[in-house]
Amino acid sequence: MGAIDSLSAEKQEVKRYLDTIKGIPFLTYEEERALLYRLHDGKDVNAAHKLVSSHLKLVVKIVYQFGNYGVNMMDMISEGNIGLMKAVKNFKLFFTCRLATYARHWIKSSINEYIMRTYSLMRIGTSRAHRRLFFNLRKLKNRINALESSGSELEVLDKIADQLSLPAEEVYFMDQIMKNGSYYSLNAKVNDESEVEVQDMLQSEEPIHDLQLMEDQEKSMKMSWLKDAIGSLDSRHREIIESRYLLEKKMKLSELAEKFAISRERVRQIEASALKKIRVFFMRKYETIK
Residue 148 region, left (φ>0) first, then alpha (ψ -120 to 50), else beta?
Answer: beta
The long-range contacts involving 185-191, CB below 8 angstroms and separated by at least 24 positions, are 185/64, 185/67, 186/61, 186/64, 186/65, 190/11, 190/14, 190/15, 190/18, 191/11, 191/12, 191/15
Q: Could you give phi then psi for residue 123, rounded to 5 degrees?
A: 60, 25
pLDDT of residue 249: 87
Residue ranges of the chain that CATH labels 1.10.10.10: 213-289
* Coil vs helix vs strand at 202: coil
Burial class (CB in 10 A: 0-12, 13-18, 19+), 176: exposed
pTM over 0.75: no
The region, left, alpha or beta by phi > 0 then psi within -120 to 50, assigned to residue 9 is alpha
Dist. CA 191–CA 8, nearest whole Å:
8
Count other C-beta atoms under 10 Å from residue 21's C-beta: 17
Per-residue pLDDT of the chain (290 residues; tens, 9 = 90+): 454 455 567 778 888 998 899 899 989 989 999 999 999 887 899 999 999 999 999 999 888 877 656 678 888 999 999 999 999 998 988 777 789 888 988 898 888 888 777 765 444 455 566 556 666 666 676 666 665 555 677 777 788 778 777 777 777 766 665 554 444 444 444 444 444 454 444 444 444 444 555 566 667 778 888 899 999 999 999 999 999 988 888 899 999 999 999 999 999 999 999 999 998 888 777 666 54
Cβ burial 60-86 (10 Å sphere, 16+ → b, else e): bbbbbebeebbbebeebbbbbbbbbbe
Q: State the Cα–Cα distance between residues 256 and 36, nearest whole angstrom.
A: 47
Taking alpha carbons only, the member of 56, 7, 4 closest to residue 206 is 56
pLDDT at 210 (0 to 100): 46
Position 181 scores a pLDDT of 46
Q: Quick one: which of 67, 182, 162, 70 has its CA closest to 124?
A: 70
Check if the beta carbon of residue 237 is closer than 8 Å to that of residue 273. Answer: yes
Count the neighbouring beta carbons within 10 Å of the beta carbon of residue 221: 14
State which fold the 213-289 domain adopts.
Arc Repressor Mutant, subunit A (1.10.10)
The CATH architecture to which 3-123+182-205 belongs is: Up-down Bundle (1.20)
Residue 106 to residue 57: CA distance in whole angstroms: 15
Residue 185 per-residue DSSP state: -
Find out whether 242 and 249 touch, Cβ atoms under 8 Å: no
What pLDDT was estimated at residue 279? 87
> At how many degrees (to 10) do helices 153-164 and 168-180 cross?
120
Residues of the chain with CATH 1.20.120.1810: 3-123+182-205
